[in-house]
A and B are shown apart, each in its own frame.
Chain A
Amino acid sequence: MIQEQESIVIKTVARLLVPFIQLFALYVIMHGHSSPGGGFQGGVILAASFILFAVAYGLDEMKRRFSIKALTVLTSVGVFLYAGIGLLCLLLGENFLDYGVLPVIEPRGMGMLGIEIGVGITVMAALISIFHDLLDFE
C-alpha cells in the first residue's frame, strides 16, 4: 500500500503535472488518426497520470477521487463501445466494423476515432485496475 508522501516538493510537482499529462493524453487519443498516437498510447499516458497521483498522494486518496467500482465498469464500457460501433455498422447494412455507412461527416475517420476512444478507455481502466489490485493486496 502506498502512503501519502511527506515531501511537499513531490506533492506540488505531481499536482501541477497531472492535469497537463491528462490533457496531453486526450490530445494523443483525439489526434490518433492524423498524427502519431492512438488509443493504446493515449490510454497508457492517462493511466500514468493517475498512477503519478497515487504515488504522490497515496492510494486511498486516489480511490476517494476515482472509485474502483467505476473503474471496473469502465473497463468493460470500452470494449462495449468498440463492439457497439461494429454492430452499428452491421445494423446499417454493411460488414462488421466497416465504417463507410456511419451517418456522420467523414465516416471512416469518425468511426476510427470512436473505436480509439473505446480502446483508450479500456487500456486506461485496465492498467489502473491492475496497479490498484497489485498494491492493495493484503
Chain B
Amino acid sequence: MKFLYLALSVATGGLLIFGALDMPVWGDPNSPANSHVSPHYIEQSFHETEVPNMVTAVLADYRSYDTLGETTVVFTAAICCLFLLRRFRKEDGA
C-alpha cells in the first residue's frame, strides 16, 4: 500500500516538474508576477501613502480589509482552542 502512495506522490511531483520547466527562471524581472500590478505598488506606494516600507503599505493600506480578515482568523483560532480545551471551573471564575 505504501508503494501506491509513493507512486502517487512521485507522479504528482513529476507532473509539477514538467510544468515548472515553463515557469520564469529565478530572478526574472519581466516575469508575469513582477510585471502587472507590482510596479505600481513599488513606484507609487511611497507617494500615495508616505510610508517607506512597501510591505506594510500594501498590508495595512491597500489590502487592509484583507488583513482585517486575517486578524479575525487568528482570533477565531484562539477562540476555537479556548472552547476545545479550556476547563471552566466554578472556583476560578474563569
With a cutoff of 8 Å between Cβ atoms, the chain A residues found around residue B57 in the complex are 33, 112
Task: Indicate if A119 sits at the interface (CB-CB under 8 A).
Answer: yes
Q: A69-B94, A82-B68, A97-B64 are in contact. Are A75 and B79 (CB under 8 A)?
A: yes
Number of interface residues of B (CB under 8 A): 29
Complex Cα spacing A105 to B1, Å:
66
Task: Indicate if B60 sits at the interface (CB-CB under 8 A).
Answer: yes
Are B56 and A33 interface neighbours, CB within 8 A? yes
Are B81 and A133 interface neighbours, CB within 8 A? yes
Are B74 and A122 interface neighbours, CB within 8 A? yes
Task: Indicate if B42 sits at the interface (CB-CB under 8 A).
Answer: no
Are B61 and A134 interface neighbours, CB within 8 A? no
Task: Indicate if A126 sits at the interface (CB-CB under 8 A).
Answer: yes
Q: A38-B55, A108-B49 are in contact. Are A136 and B79 (CB under 8 A)?
A: no
Complex Cα spacing A38 to B60, Å:
9
Interface residues on A, range: 35 or more
Which of B55, B64, B75, B85 contacts A137 (CB under 8 A)?
B85
Q: A78-B71, A133-B86 are in contact. Are A126 and B65 (CB under 8 A)?
A: no
Are B61 and A112 interface neighbours, CB within 8 A? yes
With a cutoff of 8 Å between Cβ atoms, the chain A residues found around residue B50 in the complex are 106, 108-109
Complex Cα spacing A34 to B54, Å:
9
Complex Cα spacing A42 to B86, Å:
26
With a cutoff of 8 Å between Cβ atoms, the chain B residues found around residue A33 in the complex are 51-53, 56-57, 60
Complex Cα spacing A82 to B68, Å:
7
Complex Cα spacing A115 to B79, Å:
21
Task: Indicate if B23 sits at the interface (CB-CB under 8 A).
Answer: no
